[in-house]
Amino acid sequence: MILKNRVAIVTGAGSGIGRAGASIMAREGAHVVVADIDFIHADETIQQICAAGGSAEALVLDVTDDKALAAGITAIAARHGRIDILHNHAGSQVAGDLEQVAINGFDKSWALNVRAHFMAARLVMPLMKRAGKGVILNTSSSSGILYDREMIAYTTTKHAVIAMTRQMAGDYAKFGVRANALCPGWVDTPFNEPFIAQMGGRDAIEAYIADKVPLGRWADVSEIAEPILFLVSDRSSYMTGQILVVDGGETVV
């Protein structure tokens, strides 16, 4: 178990990639704090982890609520005395180009996809500095590298996550804290529903993926969980400030 006795916080862990990442960390011995806005989804993740012999607890909150986030992280630190891993994964897609996107949608996207990552990292950093080690993984997207049709809010925030991650890495490597970003491509989860609707439905998105992704298919969440495990474990111990793209080859075309 390569994460034995470590404490990990995973935001957006109630479903999809977040759940898969939380589950694989627990499988490898971490005690996982399943942070999600939805209690039912968080509990489902915890039940799956515990059924597989892992250890987890829920942290139900809106990560864009600074006070709730600070209180939650403070409570986790007090209870366990350490936070070894923070995976900032909670995010949202808001469709629309420059003229079409709702202004409040753009603001929501920024608050969840960027600012909440910033705040959670800011809150765990003192504990990691004192420990002389720690790992922060921020979820960006292949949309943080590519143009994504008529998704200005999403692409803007995902590009920002990459810049922020690199800045964190450069500033905190001297304290033994590593920061990297994960850029998933097309992963078959309900998260993609806004873009699928914009594209014109399931048949349209399937044709798009078949044309644009060299491997010609969606990724399964399990294919993203393994790179997550690599990035949060000592398997990547000499890696910081890097962007790991897992996209079936889309960004090389």
Q: Does some domain include residue 41?
A: yes
Q: Is residue 114 part of a domain?
A: yes
For residue 148, tell me if it sits in a domain: yes
Is 70 among the domain residues?
yes
Q: Which two tokens stand for residue 250?
A: 């889309």
CA distance 244 to 222: 16
CATH number at residue 93: 3.40.50.720
- In the predicted structure, residue 234 carries a pLDDT above the cut 90: yes
pLDDT at 181: 98
Does 214 reside within a domain? no
- pLDDT score recorded for residue 253: 65
Which has more pLDDT, 116 or 149?
116
114 near 160, Cβ under 8 Å?
yes
Neighbours of 190 (CB within 10 A): 9
- When pLDDT is cut at 50, 70 and 90, the band that residue 116 belongs to is very high
User: Is residue 211 a part of any domain in this protein?
Assistant: no
Catalytic residue among 147, 154, 172, 238: 154
Question: Is a pLDDT exceeding 80 seen at residue 168?
Answer: yes
Per the domain annotation, does 200 fall within a domain?
Answer: no
DSSP for residue 215: T
**Residue 183 pairs with which residues in a beta bridge?**
245
Is 154 a residue of the active site? Answer: yes
Q: Is residue 215 part of a domain?
A: no
- pLDDT digits over 196-218, tens only? 777 778 888 888 889 889 999 98
DSSP three-state, residue 128: helix
The number of folded domains in the chain is: 1
CB 136 within 8 A of CB 124: yes
Structure confidence by residue, pLDDT tens digits, 68-85 = 999 999 999 999 999 999
Q: Which domain holds residue 224?
A: 7-189+220-245
Query: What is the C-alpha R_g of the chain?
Result: 17
- In angstroms, the CA 9 to CA 83 distance is 8
